[in-house]
Amino acid sequence: MKVTAIIPAAGEGKRLNAGLQSGAIKKQFLEISGKSILSMTVSAFEECQSVDDVIVVADKEDIELTKDLLKDYKKVKKVVAGGAKRQESVHNGLQSASQDTDIVVIHDGARPLVTKELISNAITEAKTSKAVVTGVPAKDTIKTVTPDRTVLETLDRQMIWMVQTPQVFKFDLIKEAYERAKKIGYSATDDSKLVERLGISVKMIMGSYENIKITTKEDLVIAEAILAGRGS
């Protein structure tokens, strides 16, 4: 059973760069503990025995830089150009995947603290569940509010999970979900939402509170602390 990982890394990181002096550096190329965010992310997939191929999706102008950065990773088979939005980038990655792929793992390039164990667990679950997302239970009370911030409702925290990546799908299923979304012009911030629209059940499995997405400068500090705790 062939498993292909698609890692979208085509964003500019505007929210992060807004808080940094070095705004010219895209976040995937920033370093944590001496290693770029993107390299750290790809390392987990390189080390995961369940993954066969890795496709990285980068901004068109960063393709050669990305190839050079990842030249020592044997599983990185392609670096392809992304689109204007994440959904377009993932779609480009799907179109570039080998047709003998059985399972696709989609993981944000800006989540460098993912572990090979988490990736493997999600792949194992996807072999029977077809569509799998990782996430963690919400720790805080969650409320819905109006545009003027008037509280509408307090949600049952036991029913609320914060979704992460990796998200893992049978290849034919996620291809169909993306093609249908493109055809009708539907967009979502989450890969599994496109699968849900097909009427397919999605399985949630436990992710990790350490599997943070680097979005703000504070996240860089947190990531450094997590790595220090791991002894890296």
33-54 pLDDT tens trace: 999 999 999 999 999 999 999 9
| pTM of this structure | 0.93
Query: What are the φ and ψ backbone dihedral angles of 189, each rounded to 5 degrees?
Result: -90, 0
d(CA 68, CA 147): 45
Does the pLDDT value for residue 12 go beyond 90? Answer: no
Band (62; pLDDT cuts 50, 70, 90): very high
- Determine what percent of the chain is predicted with pLDDT higher than 90: 92
**Where do the domains of the chain lie?**
3-230
Per CATH, the architecture of 3-230 is what?
Answer: Alpha-Beta Complex (3.90)
CA 123, 128, 133, 138 dihedral sign is negative
Residue 172 identity: D
Q: What does DSSP assign to residue 85?
A: S
Residue 77 identity: K
Q: What does DSSP assign to residue 156?
A: -
- Determine what percent of the chain is predicted with pLDDT higher than 70: 94
d(CA 45, CA 4): 10
Pair type for strands 203-206 and 131-137: parallel
d(CA 195, CA 131): 8
